[in-house]
A and B are shown apart, each in its own frame.
Chain A
Amino acid sequence: MYPRLYRKLLPNWLKRFGFFLLGVVMLYAPFALLTRLLLAITNVPSNADVHSVCLRMPIQWLAQPWMYATMFEKPVYLVAVLVLPVIALFLGPLFCGWLCPAGGMTEYLSRLVPPRFQINMTGKVNPVPIRYGFMFGMMGVAFIGGNACCSFCNFTHAQNLINALFGNMLGLQYWASFAVVSFILWFFVLGLFTRGGRGWCNFLCPAGALMGFAHWAGAKLKVSRYVKIDRSACNNCGLCATYCPTLAIQKNGERSEVNAHACNICMDCKIVCPSRAISYSAPQALQSPAPLPAGEPAGD
């Protein structure tokens, strides 16, 4: 019923699940510990919930120069456009793969749905241009004054669900508008019923697009740690591509390749790889040479 390698992946999933819970405690009301801390440090009076550290609007504000002053007045908004992309530049989008509760929620719940009921997009779609297109489209509209507001945001939907779990049903009023469509799209169509549960992240997350771009740039500039496949060890079995929730690994003829634009460093591919050909490591230029075994002379 479930793929046999799910059992092998379980320790990694549990580890990441712990980080996702940490993400909820850090960013989401009623806890929002990091949000409270950031608001206190920046001295901004605001409700401590996920809206205070919005990851979407500041990306739109990049196309709205008249909003730059607001961003600097409330530096908490720089998290989306500065802090997370800089982390992604050097380490990859760790936030997406290890902390984002909205992505984690659908990913983990999708593991409970038998794969035969799920849409399998592996090897059929390249999500990267669509995700960049979505980001540019949103920013283009922002330039002439429009915004994609909270009712189209999976972060808001996740916050509303968590609020409802703690007895606060107020957020569910969003469902009286178009939000019900975007909720169904995020939670069911692209979440539970998509293999990997990351359909929304792969196609419609502008924050993920920005971090993906930073990660790709870091890999190109050889300053970033990234997931890579050792071609000499790879037997091209395709398991990594099958289990990648972000469609980042695609078989290209005789070999598989990791697309840095899409990879979120979840490391599931490394665990399922039977030939241990996958690693998350620094680029060659930054690696120090491996120490020689004791007693072995250096050089010839």
Chain B
Amino acid sequence: MAIELSQQLRHYQPKFHGLALGMTLGIGSTFLSQGCAATGACPACGACAARLPLLAVPFLLDGAVMLAGKVMAKREAEEG
């Protein structure tokens, strides 16, 4: 079971990386596209600060999947 899951995780790892990269771009685009960021006309509405933690979500998800894959691979090696 653990071996199968480990293989599955390895197979889907590049897709998870892609998904995380896309999510980061998607979230990041909402910061930069408001028209205030690049003009120096930030109205200090607080929206950026409220959304900032969201940027960490894709990294955390991708990291969790990667870590799970590594743990599984280690157990797989230990089991033989």
Cα A174 to Cα B57 with chains together (Å): 30
Partner of B19 from A133, A151, A179 at Cβ < 8 Å? A133
Question: How far in angstroms is the closest Cβ of chain B from A238?
Answer: 21
Q: Which of B18, B22, B32, B36 contacts A137 (CB 8 A)?
A: B22
Q: Are A129 and B26 in contact (CB under 8 A)?
A: no
A155-180 residues with Cβ-Cβ distance < 8 A to B are 174, 176-180
A203 on the interface (CB 8 Å rule)? Answer: yes
Chain A residues in 8 Å Cβ range of B28:
137
| B-side contacts of A136, CB under 8 Å | 19, 22-23, 26
Q: Are B37 and A178 in contact (CB under 8 A)?
A: yes
CB under 8 Å from chain A, chain B span 8-47: 14-30, 32-39, 47
Cα-based distance from A224 to B26 in the complex (angstroms): 29
Q: Bound state CA distance, A139 and B47, in angstroms?
A: 16
The reply to whether A149 and B25 form a contact with Cβ atoms under 8 Å apart is no
A129-B15, A177-B35, A178-B35 as given contacts; A144 in contact with B25, CB under 8 Å: no
Contact with B18, one of A129, A139, A151, A178 (Cβ below 8 angstroms) = A129
Whether B18 contacts A130 by the Cβ 8 Å rule is yes
Known contacts A128-B18, A140-B54; A176 and B39 CB within 8 A of each other: yes
Q: Is B1 an interface residue (CB 8 A)?
A: no
**B26 neighbours in A (Cβ, 8 Å):** 133-141, 148, 206
- On chain A, which size bracket covers the interface? 35 or more
**Residue B74 CB within 8 A of the other chain:** no
Contact A132 B35 (CB under 8 A): no
Complex Cα gap A148–B28 (Å): 9
Smallest CB separation, B31 vs chain A (Å):
8
- Interface residue tally of chain B, by bracket? 20 to 34
**Assuming A140-B27, A152-B33, A178-B32, is B51 touching A129 (CB within 8 A)?**
no
CA distance A126 to B22 in the complex (A): 12
Task: Give complex CA distance A137, B30 in Å.
Answer: 9
Asked whether B30 lies within 8 Å of A178 as measured between CB atoms, the reply is no
Contacts of B50 in A (CB 8 A): 144-145
- Please state if B22 and A129 are interface contacts (CB–CB under 8 Å): yes
Q: CB-CB < 8 A to A131: which residues of B?
A: 22
List 22 A-B residue pairs with CB atoms under 8 Å apart, sorted by A's residue number. Answer: A128-B18, A129-B14, A131-B22, A133-B18, A133-B19, A133-B22, A134-B26, A136-B19, A139-B26, A140-B23, A144-B50, A144-B54, A145-B47, A146-B30, A149-B34, A151-B34, A152-B32, A178-B33, A179-B33, A180-B38, A182-B29, A204-B25
Instruction: Beyond A128-B18, A181-B38, list 16 extra A-B contacts (CB 8 Å).
Output: A129-B17, A129-B22, A133-B22, A133-B24, A134-B23, A136-B26, A138-B29, A140-B57, A141-B51, A149-B34, A152-B32, A152-B33, A177-B38, A178-B35, A179-B33, A182-B32
Q: Which residue numbers of B lie inside 8 Å of A, CB to CB?
A: 14-30, 32-39, 47, 50-51, 54, 57-58
Give the top 8 A-B pairs by smallest Cβ distance, nearest first: A133-B22, A137-B26, A129-B18, A152-B33, A137-B23, A130-B22, A133-B19, A177-B35
